Amino acid sequence: MKLFRKYLPILTWGAEYNRQTMVNDLIVACIVTVMLIPQSLAYAMLAGLPPQVGLYASMAPLLMYAIFGTSRTLAVGPVAVASLMTAAAAGTIASQGAPEYLGAAIAMAMVSGLLLVGMGMLRLGFLANFLSHPVISGFITASGLQIAMGQVAPLIGIKGHGESFFDVVQSMLPHLGDVNPATAAVGITSLVFLFWVRSGLKPLLQKIGMGERSAGMLAKLGPIVAIGLTTVSVWSFGLADQGVKVVGTVPKGLPTLAMPSFEMDLWLKILVPALLISIVGYVESISVALTLAAKRRQRIDPDQELIALGMSNVGSAVSGGFPVTGGFSRSIVNFDAGAETPAAGAFTAIGIAIATLFLTPLLYFLPNATLAATIIVAVLSLVDLGAVKHTWRYSKADGAAMAATILLTLIEGVELGLITGVGLSIFLHLYKTSKPHVAVVGQLPGTMNFRNTLRHGVVTDPAILSLRIDASLYFPNARFIEEMVNDAVAANSKIRHVILECPAVNTIDSSGLESLEAINQRLKEGDVNLHLAEVKGPVMDRLLGTHFLEELTGEVHLTQYDAVARINPELAISTMEKKRVVKG
């Protein structure tokens, strides 16, 4: 039963569900449904898929998440970056419009879903950690730029398409003369309107006395208004005959449930992109979930979230949809509207189903240019180029990883950009880890404290080399420590004792232990004793079971002062009694 509860969070909140919460969730669902329809259509267009696929991807996933998800307010569905990644991957299988293209997108949702569920079962959520903040932020910025640039062509009615930002620009250049005036008028008007709604409407509404929350909610209706007005305009002025591309016939009715065809060959081809979509989607999803949960002090189980997101994608796949994830904007709408349980999501799914059943004829004259405008406005808010400077200032390595991710994504496309970013940040991490900070320390006069000889006026005994190791001793740095000790002792023939001060050594693995053994053995042959000081309790517990302590030529001391005082009591005591002198 406990296991059921763990894997089916619906049993927990469902047990307490009551009429009042239901009424509340129903109201929320009405609001969210209205907002989700244009988003769903737009992201389907972005992924290069027929509009109804976006609607399909907004039903089953919401139901699945309501059953398996641990966040009360996260809303799953198509999002910008995952849609772009889907388009990039499906584009390598077939060209847009071909049935194989749609098949690849559906298979991607399936594979991605299975991978996520698998990762959740194996508790591999930590894999997502290796997408560092700078890499994910750089990737999202570059994706945002690429998406926005990709939507310029439909916005003004020219041709243009490509796998990366520069591809898109290059493919558009020859067509710049073919701008369709009617399309551009609809598109640019929508764009300006939507930007104004974002920046100007909310303050205006507040000025005329509306509360902040209601003003915010109303401002979010901007896309619906733009869609309504432009659809009516296209219909009434017959703009479709003047070259304005419209959504056209959207098949009515619910998707048929079907297992996506299992083609080993196809699945292998999309495995890497599906994995990348899974991880990027999970990172976005879990971070939104944590942010919303914190506001109401609710818990999120990261491994269960993998399962929930995976099941949502499986749900999307079997109902003919494409990869989905927990989106920031849709979740915020859900949260702000006052959703209390995942039931609100389930009701939203029903709302979208009703829309799909009855309202699709209304979408016939919806111009693609308006959808392009809503996408551009949405994604440009993701772009944060200033973050590179800001990150670089804080950490060169992180700044470099971020810049590399952005550049490679813009030039080579999403997959290579992301893989390079992840590879580079793991590499830089391993590199930094392999050269930890080690300080030569000496006694601060007038105290029993030891500090870096380079930063403080400290007293040292030439026969004693005291090193404070600011890192755990494990395989990435084990050899470095060996080499450093060897170097230091070779450079100074007076040294008779080496003391390793270990307050920041959180762990010693087998490689670290063998390095300590090698250091001890080598120092012994050079007639130098090795001591340890300030070894942490859990680290000492493990060392106690080893031969190292038996072989150790020196001793393990409680503090660095004890170690020095044992070897040269006179100097240690006289230094302690001295008045402190400030260097320089």
- Is 237 an interacting residue with respect to a second copy (CB under 8 A)? no
**Residue in 1, 3, 15, 491 binding a second copy, rule: CB under 8 A:** 491
**Please, what is the minimum distance in Å from the beta carbon of residue 86 to a second copy?**
25
- The reply on whether position 434 binds a second copy by CB under 8 A is yes
Do strands 450-452 and 438-443 pair parallel, antiparallel, or not at all (unpaired)? antiparallel
Q: Cα(221)–Cα(205) distance, rounded to whole angstroms?
A: 13
Contact yes or no for 77/315 (Cβ under 8 A): no
Least separation in angstroms between residue 145's CB and a second copy is 21
| 518 scored as a contact of a second copy (CB under 8 A) | yes
> Cα(563)–Cα(534) distance, rounded to whole angstroms?
9
203 belongs to the binding site for a second copy (CB under 8 A): no
Q: Are 71 and 285 in contact (CB under 8 A)?
A: no
For residue 268, what are its two tokens? 């292998």
CA distance 271 to 264: 10
Give the nearest distance from C-beta 4 to a second copy in angstroms: 21
Which one of the spans 15-23, 92-100, 356-364, 389-397 is the region binding a second copy (CB under 8 A)? 389-397
Beta carbon nearer to a second copy, 161 or 451: 451
Shortest Å distance, C-beta 427 to a second copy: 9
Residues 286-325 that bind a second copy (CB under 8 A): 286-287, 290-291, 293-300, 302
Rg over alpha carbons for the chain, rounded to the nearest Å, is 31
Contact with a second copy (CB under 8 A): which of 373, 523, 535, 565?
Answer: 523
Minimum separation from the CB atom of position 556 to a second copy (A): 17
Q: Distance between CA atoms of 199 and 380, rounded to whole angstroms? A: 13
Q: Are 300 and 285 in contact (CB under 8 A)?
A: no
133 binds a second copy (CB under 8 A): yes
What's the number of CA atoms in the CB half-sphere (13 Å) around residue 251? 10
**Can you read off the two tokens belonging to residue 365?**
């004259």
Tell whether residue 336 is a contact of a second copy (CB under 8 A).
no
Select 355 or 438, whichever has its Cβ closest to a second copy. Answer: 438
Helices 80-90, 368-380: inter-axial angle, 10-degree rounding = 120
Q: How far is the CB of 536 from a second copy (least distance, A)?
A: 8
Residue closer to a second copy by CB (options 134, 162) is 134
HSE of 73, CA atoms in CB hemisphere, 13 A: 27
Say whether 273 sits in a helix, a strand or coil: helix
Q: Which residues, listed in sequence order, are joined to residue 440 by a DSSP beta bridge?
A: 467
Per-residue mark of binding to a second copy, 438-467 (x: CB under 8 A): -----------------x------------
CA–CA dist 292, 300 (Å, integer): 10
Instruction: Tell me the C-alpha distance between 111 and 113, whole Å.
Output: 5
384 contacts a second copy (rule: CB under 8 A): no
Q: Does the protein bind a second copy through residue 525 (CB under 8 A)?
A: yes
**Tokens 């399909």, residue located:** 56
Q: Does 473 bind a second copy (CB under 8 A)?
A: no
Q: Which is nearer to a second copy, 167 or 534 (CB)?
A: 534
Show contacts with a second copy in window 532-561 (CB under 8 A). Answer: 537-538, 542, 545-546
Binding-site residue total for a second copy (CB under 8 A)?
77
**In angstroms, what is the minimal distance from the CB of 549 to a second copy?**
12
Query: Is position 490 an interface residue for a second copy (rule: CB under 8 A)?
Result: yes
Q: How far is the CB of 506 from a second copy (least distance, A)?
A: 5
End-to-end CA distance of the chain, in Å? 69
The SS3 call for residue 331 is helix
Q: Which one of residues 4, 126, 196, 237 is an interface residue with a second copy (CB under 8 A)?
A: 126
